[in-house]
Chains A and B, each alone.
Chain A
Amino acid sequence: MGDLVAAEWLKLRTTRLLHGTAPAALLISLAAVIGSTLAADRAGIALESTRGLRRILPTTGTGALVVLIVGILVSAGEYRHGTAADTFLTTPRRHRVVLAKVAVGAAVGLAVGAITSAACITGAAALFRLRGVTFPFDDAEVWQSVAGTLAYTTLFAVLGVAIGTMVRNQVFAVAAALAWVGIVEHLLVNLAPGIGRWLPAAAGQAILRTPLDRLLGPAAGAAVLAAFALVITAAGLRFTVTRDA
């Protein structure tokens, strides 16, 4: 299994996929945090207050959308480029390939989440100082937010890998995932919050502690998103093992 995880990491490293996507995830998050900080300031909200932090910090997770796409490309990309057959010739026990991809996806999600969190908090702290406010590093809100971003980004990466395993058409998988998160769930959360709050992206917002009163709590959100990732991974495993390649 160690060899397979190393091989999957080598696969990812030897394409240019992360060169563009990792910085993109970072920049999107940073822009979102700067934007929300400026907006909170303009709205007259005390930045260092709990209310202020809750307006600002959850946007750190915005870059996870990019990580979701990376996850999809890690698995669906094998079908896109015709390397899947070769991969399964090397490893006929195909479930191991899927598990190795999940492991690499999770590691990438965690790493991007960590780098993004560090950059966003540094950026927010700099903006706070410009406004003459000390960033409250000792506030539990800050570290709960960091933990949330790490969990959210990691789970979204795994979710992406799982989706790409099920939906082998890479372009369709990316388009469908973005449409789901950006449109379908958005509508459901607003129109039918009783259902919408249980869906993956809404659960992700709950993990990030986004201040919307329709959402689940952070722990429940994490459990729901993890359950989605687990179920889709299990379905993807079964699909990959039983379907002709």
Chain B
Amino acid sequence: MQALTKRYGAHTAVEDLSFTAPAGAVTGVIGPNGAGKTTTFRCLLGLVDPTGGRALIGGQPYRALEAPRTCVGAVLETTGFHPARTGRSHLRVLARAAGIDPARVDDVLDVVALRADGGRRVGGYSLGMRQRLGIAAAMLGDPAVIVLDEPVNGLDPEGVVWMRRLLRTWAGQGRTVVVSSHLLAELAQVVDRVVVIRGGRLVAETDIGSLNHVVVVRVDRPDVMVAALRASGAGHELRADGAIAVRGREPSEVGRVAAQAGVAVIELARATPGEALEAMFFAVTGDRGDG
């Protein structure tokens, strides 16, 4: 993504956005609804023309790719299916148009565990089954780059776990995986890199490994603790559930601050990746966790 800009009339959906997604890693594009994630993906996939800048895949714009399905597999939120067509036929159509060996159809149906239902019409599929059929379609050409827009939306807990495992498997195979989500916690466990977008602009791009210094503390008098943390100069957010996320401090340091402030610690722990991501997100977007 190089200085990507997309305007719809007076509305700027994406502005001067630049980031890269490396191979062999899962890059998460996160941001609230309407932040420009989907527009960014549509520009990347050649579905809309950017107003300015470029979106390249392996150095080439999507529309210049010789056999796009074998380079890039994508599932967009708006991807639909003809309800009267069977899952298998949907894939056969794509394989035919892309010049892909039809034997791949059953392979990818196996990957998403839809082989038994491949002969059923998509109209009778559940939301999760449609999601999986979309993923099967993306995998048809065995692409090196995979782009998924909100892949965990509408999945049941089991499906979310399955999706996480799939993302890790792909990255482990050396593929470039780019996923978007407005749900921070869902992604935190699987992404290697995070790109935060808000209002169409990049607000942060970082490796998840560098996010780990977040401590979550729960005390009896949060207001006193917040004041003490402010005095100590530690970045922190009071969350809606009453816990405080503290950035860039070890648990022992946070405990010491609490002791000096004379508050009773109820709970003190290093943050999960999801909490760390959330803390980073609110820090860079300027939102308060309690806002």
Q: A3-B97, A90-B68, A92-B46 are in contact. Are A85 and B78 (CB under 8 A)?
A: yes
**Inter-subunit contact A82/B84 (CB<8 Å):** no
Q: For the complex, what is the distance from the CA of A81 to the CA of B97, rounded to whole Å?
A: 18
Q: Which of B86-94, B197-205, B230-238, B250-258 contacts A (4 or more CB under 8 A)?
A: B86-94
Does any Cβ of A come within 8 Å of B117's Cβ? no
Docked pose: A180 CA to B177 CA in angstroms:
49
Bound: A124/B118 CA distance, A: 45
- Given A7-B96, A244-B42, A86 and B79 contact (CB-CB distance below 8 Å): yes
- In the complex, which residues of chain A have a beta carbon less than 8 angstroms from the beta carbon of B127? none
A91 in the interface (beta carbon within 8 A): yes
Residue of A nearest to B97 (CB): A7
In the complex, the answer to whether B82 meets A81 with C-beta atoms within 8 Å is yes
Instruction: Pick the interface stretch among A10-18, A151-159, A181-189.
Output: A10-18
Instruction: Given A10-B96, A14-B93, A15-B85, verify A82-B48 contact (CB < 8 Å).
Output: no
Please, how many angstroms separate the alpha-carbon atoms of A92 and B42 in the complex?
12
> A146 vs B145: C-alpha distance in the bound complex, in angstroms?
53
Neighbouring B residues of A93 by C-beta, 8 Å: 63
Contact partner of B84 among A15, A90, A91, CB < 8 A? A15
Task: Indicate the size class of the contact surface on chain A.
Answer: 20 to 34
Check if B92 sits within 8 Å of A86, measured CB to CB: no
Q: What interface size band does chain B fall in?
A: 20 to 34
A244 in contact with B49 (CB, 8 Å) = yes
CA A80 – CA B83 in complex, angstroms? 11
Least distance between A224 CB and chain B CB atoms (Å): 34
Return chain B residues, CB-CB under 8 Å to A16.
Answer: 84
Partner of B83, one of A3, A81, A88, A92: A81
Closest to B99 in A: A3
B97 CB contacts on chain A under 8 angstroms: 3-4, 7, 87, 90-91
- Shortest Cβ distance from B74 into A: residue: A89
* A81-B82, A82-B81, A85-B78 known; A90 vs B94 contact (CB < 8 Å): yes
Q: Shortest beta-carbon distance, B95 to chain A, in Å?
A: 8
Shortest CB distance A150–B (Å): 28
Question: Of A4, A6, A10, A91, which is in contact with the most chain B CB atoms at under 10 Å from its CB?
Answer: A10
B216 to nearest A CB, angstroms?
A: 41
* Complex interface: chain A residues within 8 A of B90 (CB): 14
Task: Assess whether B42 is in contact with A83, with CB atoms less than 8 Å apart.
Answer: no
> Which of A3, A7, A10, A81 lies in contact with B81, CB distance below 8 A?
A81
Q: What chain A residues lie within 8 Å of B46 (beta carbons)?
A: 88-89, 92
Q: Which of B63, B72, B84, B93 has the most CB of A within 10 A?
A: B93
Q: Does A77 contact B (CB under 8 A)?
A: yes
Cβ-defined partner of A90 (8 Å) among B48, B76, B92, B98: B98
B89 CB to nearest chain A CB (Å): 4
Taking CB atoms, residues of chain B closer than 8 Å to A81 are 80-83
Distance in angstroms between the alpha carbons of A245 and B38 in the assembled complex: 13
In the assembly, what is the distance between CA of A222 and CA of B190, in Å? 62
Known: A87-B97, A244-B42. A14 touches B78 (CB 8 A): no
**Shortest CB–CB separation between residue A155 and chain B, in angstroms?**
26
Residues of B that sit less than 8 Å from A by CB: 42, 45-49, 62-63, 65, 68-69, 72, 74, 76, 78-86, 89-90, 92-94, 96-99, 137
Q: A81-B83, A83-B81 are in contact. List 19 more A-B contacts (CB 8 A).
A: A3-B97, A3-B99, A7-B94, A15-B82, A81-B80, A82-B78, A82-B79, A85-B78, A85-B79, A86-B94, A88-B46, A88-B47, A89-B46, A90-B97, A92-B62, A92-B63, A92-B68, A244-B49, A245-B48
Chain A residues proximal to chain B, CB less than 8 Å:
3-4, 6-7, 10-11, 14-17, 77, 81-83, 85-93, 244-245
Smallest CB-CB A-B distances: 9 pairs:
A82-B80, A7-B97, A14-B89, A244-B48, A7-B96, A92-B63, A15-B84, A245-B47, A90-B97
Q: Name 16 interchain pairs, CB-CB below 8 A, sorted by A.
A: A3-B97, A3-B99, A10-B92, A11-B82, A14-B85, A16-B84, A83-B79, A83-B81, A85-B47, A85-B76, A88-B47, A89-B45, A89-B68, A89-B69, A90-B97, A245-B47
